[in-house]
Structure 1
Amino acid sequence: MNLDHVFVCGNPALDFAATLRARRSARFEMFATPDRLTAWYVESGIVDAVSPAEDADVEQAKAVREAVYRLVTGRRLGEAYDRAALTVLNNAARTSPAVPQLTPSGRWTQATPQEALSLVARHAVELLGGPDVPLLKECGNPECTRTYIDRSRGTRRQWCGMDSCGNKIKAAAYRARKKATPTTPN
């Protein structure tokens, strides 16, 4: 089942936080149902298979997602960590994660929703406690609220992704320039 999730942020925890889209305007919830959460875990590459999620798993995932978003945003802005968000994230990270297995066809990770969520939380802990913090940026598209890791030359990247936001902004700017430029008759 492909739900067109977008993975452009450079870290699974950041992509997870971006599953509530357009936070400042329309707010589009990617985890509307348990199967959408399950699909995200597999599509993200965190795990290869996950047992079916329940409504409670979705609520827990949303709580962790919001904690990750608050912590990443606070860290990016140089603010102190939100203590409640720290507790939510650390509790999820303490849960036993899924364990990869070696099979004749290669690496395989089967997980429960709780084990998959633990992996996401651990990615967030490693990110926020690691060297990539100075590279955290918010997308330059005013309607987008994704945070991404800017590893571009000179750290000049402006958008979470060209396909998801960059092309839209560039096309809109081009249309605005064309509209503002008077045309000359031939």
Structure 2
Amino acid sequence: MSIAILMVTIKLLGEPRMSLSAPAMFVADSPGLDFLNSVATPVDAPLDWIADGEGLLAWLEQAQLVSTQVLQGMRKDAMPGELDRVAAQARDLREWFRGFVRAHKGKPLTSAVLDELAPLNRLLERDEGYELVIPETGTGHGLQLQAMRRWKSPESVLLPIGLAMARLVTEEDFSHVKACEGPACTLLFADHTRARNRRWCSMDLCGNRAKQAAHRHRHKALH
């Protein structure tokens, strides 16, 4: 996603409510953290990409966590208001996990936090995943295993989100999970830079704001 395009789109919208025409933000280098960043204040007004059921499905598609075909089926088969209720569950899940990440970022996770992750494990226990033998992708002519999932209800779209969260806590070094240093920014990211010195969610957003603020400060000091 182009941050510049996002900023222009939001300014043209001029509304605090997210429009589905505005692309979601994926700047965290981690799908689990990108989920937390599905609510943000990239310009002036707070924006929530999963404010309703359609927003949730659109975000899942942009995040490539659920296939377009599955999401189209969800739209077709869901009862009135059902997807909005799932989106409300997703928002509750997001804010619970935000509290966990903010409490533990900057230091390695240990098994001592396992009890805190009970809500995540309860979600993962709902999964009806399985694997199928399919033709090998690419130029090969052999066979491979592919993970599949039974999408029995709209609530099942929360499962790939849960898996992204689980991978964050098991595969990411929480020592490198950071919050953007922008004064009003709420975005989180995994610092994968070689020097581990990333400070901003994006140089196009908070990085440039910091440069402009520093320039104004120097100019004021000289005059």
Query: Which structure 2 residue ranges, 5 or more long, are not aligned?
Result: 1-19, 76-81, 139-145
> CA 1:120/1:94 → structure 2, altered by over 3 Å: closer, same or farther?
same
Q: 1:149 aligns with which of 190, 195, 199?
A: 190
- Identify the residue that residue 207 of structure 2 maps to in structure 1: 166
> CA 1:2/1:113 → structure 2, altered by over 3 Å: closer, same or farther?
farther
TM norm structure 2: 0.66
Q: Distance in 2 between the 1:134 and 1:44 partners? A: 24
- Identify the residue that residue 54 of structure 1 maps to in structure 2: 83
- Identify the residue that residue 104 of structure 2 maps to in structure 1: 75
Q: Report the number of matched residues.
A: 179
Instruction: Please state how far the C-alpha of 1:135 moved relative to its aligned partner.
Output: 1.1
**Cα displacement string for residues 1-20 of structure 1 (whole angstroms, at most 9, x for unaligned residues):** 54321000011110111122
Structure 1 residue matching 2:195: 3-state secondary structure: helix
Whether contact under 8 Å (1:30, 1:36) holds in the other structure is yes
Aligned residue identity for 2:121:
N
Instruction: Please state how far the C-alpha of 1:81 moved relative to its aligned partner.
Output: 4.4
Runs ≥4 in structure 1, deviation > 3 angstroms? 25-28, 77-83, 97-103, 109-113
Structure 2 residue matching 1:5: 3-state secondary structure: coil
Aligned residue identity for 1:62:
R
Q: CA RMSD in A?
A: 3.4
> CA 1:36/1:68 → structure 2, altered by over 3 Å: closer, same or farther?
same
Q: 1:94 aligns with which of 125, 145, 160?
A: 125
- Identify the residue that residue 18 of structure 1 maps to in structure 2: 37
Instruction: Please state how far the C-alpha of 1:167 moved relative to its aligned partner.
Output: 1.9
TM norm structure 1: 0.78
Aligned positions of 1:79-158 closer than 5 A = 81=113, 86-96=117-127, 113-158=154-199
Aligned residue identity for 2:25:
V
Query: Which structure 1 residue ranges, 5 or more long, are not aligned?
Result: none
Q: Distance in 2 between the 1:30 and 1:100 partners? A: 31
Whether contact under 8 Å (2:29, 2:189) holds in the other structure is yes
**Cα displacement string for residues 4-48 of structure 1 (whole angstroms, at most 9, x for unaligned residues):** 2100001111011112225xx965433222111110000011122
Instruction: Please state how far the C-alpha of 1:131 moved relative to its aligned partner.
Output: 4.1
Q: Distance in 1 between the 2:98 and 2:57 partners? A: 20
